[in-house]
Chains A and B, each alone.
Chain A
């Protein structure tokens, strides 16, 4: 079912610049060439009856309802498949057309149940609407004959054509008795999502929709994106929430709080209750598509484990005490002041998160810099994309991706390195697959055979299956081929880049030691594949690089990012549509949290704290002196906590005890602090070490903005009251007030206004501007009043592009006899990061535990069978997971996801980090894997500690129910 507020124009928008004029029912319409008659009519406000058409899908011409008459043409062409032509005269309503349509509808309804009043689609059923539109009054064929509607024949026998409802998917049902075989679901799965899980099985009257080989939906290849549910014109595919609650009565546009794609959604509401989330057709990042998380996995927001009252305790072995907000704020303020008085101004700090809105992040760093009086503020981008900030700033001059997502429509060669878009950025992954099916070539650089390497109608031209930790070696080998085979875009480089830096780089990568042949033993990638990939990237037309945490989360993360930027500059693949360097941001607001000045060394807009003019600007605006020296990064905070100089930490929306590397080191640091304040939805792993819990609000409960991977700033809109009473920015503000630093925003928009005043790339940004344009890509200022889809067009932000030297330095994390395998980590489609949200939804039906993926060869050597418990030991620690034997792995490399805290993936990861930013080297850990029959000691301790913390929480809650003592 479509959104309750969207208008569907029937066929996709044509893009031609040439326009054509025609007459529809006497009205003159001018439309782009290639527009269908159906869409042209819709633009003139004339709705031609239809069932199989939707503007999300290519025209299909199967339902025979949209027939029209065209002057000078024979017969009754389908308006969806007929393009307009100059001077065409179309009639959409004639007595003959009415007869034909009524006849068609009569046939449809003769094989459709008549339970409209109790049907979930009632009120928004397109079949019902069409029956009304054509004036169907009787069905002469009766209902006794062959049909798909009734379980039994009139004689009481089983109806062979009847198929019972499939309720296997946790979020939607499939009721074949209501199916009209319009193929919209099948086409949505193919064209939009690109999974090809659905098909029309059988022919003629036997035709029916089937998932995979006639499986239940849950058992099929279906990835539960919901595109089919959205496309279905009847109740055949219906959200279970719609079945339970009935039709929504209003709809609010907001932005998804999951990954960095930042899909725009319509929250379709009944009062303050969400009936369904429908991706916004006008959403500029997602164009009406979504994944299983954004559309369906929102149940966490109303999960019973949400904590809705502030709590405090003196020691983490004490039960929590439920307190009022004022007491909580006063307590934090007095503790932080006490710690600063006793241990110095630097003894406290704050951590913000990529899950927070821009406004929240901005306030946290403002509280730390202006209220705490130090620069000890960091964000979780430290552990994901900090190398992107450093690497792109050094080379191109701005810490951000260069393109919008739609740029890929102009791309000829897609290079994906260290990213797995179909799992981690699924909606953009679908757009990428659309472009690949349309003919773009594909290079994948990844240790694993990710789905993109070979999926329906897609086959990578090159898969460079490198050994983990050798990204820089491969990037240098690619550069070597480009330089030594004369594939450099000399004109671009001489016009746009610093000549000395380029000359130095050219000589550097041209060295024999960087040839693919010389690097082969190190990278494990055959030299001819590297040469082929380099030639394709350099000469295949518009080439665009998409990269993710498989690039950044390495000891050489920043070097690899610079290596990527070097390749793009050397081949002239930057500064226009279709090309560029595109970091796939993990969480919804990674870009925004970085933009908002949450790193300890820079103010909003990536301006160093030592910059006198910038500091003066902020000092004037914030009314206090500010420090000109960088503060502590997250891993520095841990070290400082362990040496006793760092004692108090305010953490908003981040779960460092699960997400940061070397868990036992992190928890030791947390245990060493005196006042840890966690602001979150749930008692997450970090909160188990906290002394104050401030209940936060979900993205549905507050106003603000998120900035996605393409620098697109979109609105988050409050659709229900905050469950704990305050939006997160209000909590930070009240905390600042309690600390004695004045903040007086009455609305989140005022915070963005302040950001815009103080940040040159945001000067033109406001809630009003975003409301007006739908979303805005920064820079948005005097020169770019409507934002900037493509950056570095005529010159780089830093002026001339700067090539950086990228020597390959093997990681110190090496395999040896004791730890002979390399562990690398990643995500899965159905779960999100630490899983705090998705684990509290039915998404666990797809993934309810983290598994260790291991190649059959490595498994056999160790006597490991599928599902066996295996111990994974590194020099940091050990844990136990169940094995999953998979040929996606290469021998010598094992893999796991990190969505469940008890898995202890980060117990194993080490303290190694990127040289420039301290981004952890999550992707390379030397391990040994053995068969075991019990959990690890860490897991036993973890479970005992978690049980204890759960008890302490329950004691607080029962005390609260009993009332104050």
Chain B
């Protein structure tokens, strides 16, 4: 998928959690939101993008994405 779009969406999520005073809670908030609402394909793509540098991701989004646990690729 269009990675810029995924980056914007992840940043939007991180922006919401930025206000959370407890940093660990904020990071978990981003991770949990991505896990609950994003299709694994999108999560996998974003994590791969982060691993290649993740340009454009805001710091909290980076931390949340880094902690993503990805499910195995679904069979056909």
Contact = CB atoms under 8 A, between A and B. Distances in A.
Interface string A624-651: 0001111111001001101101000000
B13 A807 contact: no
B13 A601 contact: no
Contacts of A630: 36-40
B76 A345 contact: yes
Nearest to B22: A504
Interface string B33-76: 10011111110000000000000000000000000000100111
B74 A805 contact: no
A558 B12 CA distance: 12
Contacts of B19: 508, 805, 807
Interface residues of B, number: 24
Q: Which among A345, A629, A809 has the greatest number of chain B C-beta atoms within 10 A?
A: A629
A341 B75 CA distance: 11
A229 B41 CA distance: 57
A610 B33 CA distance: 13
Given A915-B15, A916-B16, A916-B33, A642 B38 contact: no
A642 B2 CA distance: 9
A807 B60 CA distance: 16
Contact of A916 (B13, B21, B76): B13
Contacts of B37: 601, 630, 633, 916-917
Nearest to A340: B76
Which of A630, A642, A645 gathers most chain B CB within 10 Å?
A630
B24 interface: no
A498 to B, nearest CB: 14
Nearest to B13: A915
B37 to A, nearest CB: 6
Contacts of A558: 16
Given A627-B74, A805-B19, A807-B19, A643 B2 contact: yes
A539 to B, nearest CB: 28
A640 B74 contact: no
A761 interface: no
B76 A344 contact: yes
A317 to B, nearest CB: 27
Given A639-B1, A639-B2, A640-B1, A629 B15 contact: no
B12 A629 contact: no
B58 to A, nearest CB: 12
A391 B74 CA distance: 31
Interface in A297-348: 340-341, 344-346
Contact of B16 (A340, A341, A610, A915): A915
A427 to B, nearest CB: 34
Interface in A336-395: 340-341, 344-346, 374-376
A915 B34 CA distance: 11
Interface in A788-809: 805, 807, 809
Given A807-B16, A809-B15, A639 B5 contact: yes
Contact of A600 (B1, B9, B16, B39): B39
A471 interface: no
A809 B12 CA distance: 10
Given A640-B1, A915-B13, A916-B13, A601 B41 contact: no
A959 to B, nearest CB: 38
A911 interface: yes
Nearest to B17: A805
Given A346-B41, A630-B38, A636 B1 contact: yes
Contact of A629 (B13, B16, B40, B75): B40
Contacts of B42: 636
Contacts of B39: 346, 375-376, 600, 629-633, 636
B17 to A, nearest CB: 9
A312 to B, nearest CB: 26
Contacts of A639: 1-2, 5
A679 interface: no
A918 B9 CA distance: 8
B2 A805 contact: no
Contacts of B16: 558-559, 807, 809, 915-916
Contacts of A375: 39
A608 interface: yes
A346 B12 contact: no
Interface string B3-39: 0010001001101101111000000000001001111
Given A629-B40, A805-B19, A915 B1 contact: no
Nearest to A559: B16
A504 B21 CA distance: 9
Nearest to A558: B16
B18 A807 contact: yes
Contacts of B33: 916
Contact of B74 (A346, A610, A643, A913): A346
Nearest to B19: A807
B36 A601 contact: yes
A633 B41 CA distance: 12
Contact of A643 (B1, B13, B76): B1
Nearest to A342: B76
A555 interface: yes
Contacts of B75: 345
A558 B37 CA distance: 14
A915 B21 CA distance: 19
A559 B12 CA distance: 12
Contacts of A610: 36
B20 A805 contact: yes
B1 A608 contact: no
Nearest to B42: A636
B69 to A, nearest CB: 11
A645 B39 CA distance: 13
Interface of A: 340-341, 344-346, 374-376, 504, 508, 555, 558-559, 600-601, 608, 610, 627-633, 636, 639-640, 642-643, 645, 805, 807, 809, 911, 913, 915-918
22 contacts: A341-B76, A345-B74, A345-B75, A345-B76, A346-B41, A346-B74, A375-B39, A601-B36, A608-B36, A610-B36, A630-B36, A630-B39, A633-B39, A636-B42, A639-B1, A643-B2, A645-B1, A807-B16, A911-B5, A913-B9, A915-B9, A916-B13
Instruction: List the 5 closest A-B pairs by CB distance, nearest first.
Output: A915-B12, A807-B19, A639-B1, A344-B76, A805-B19
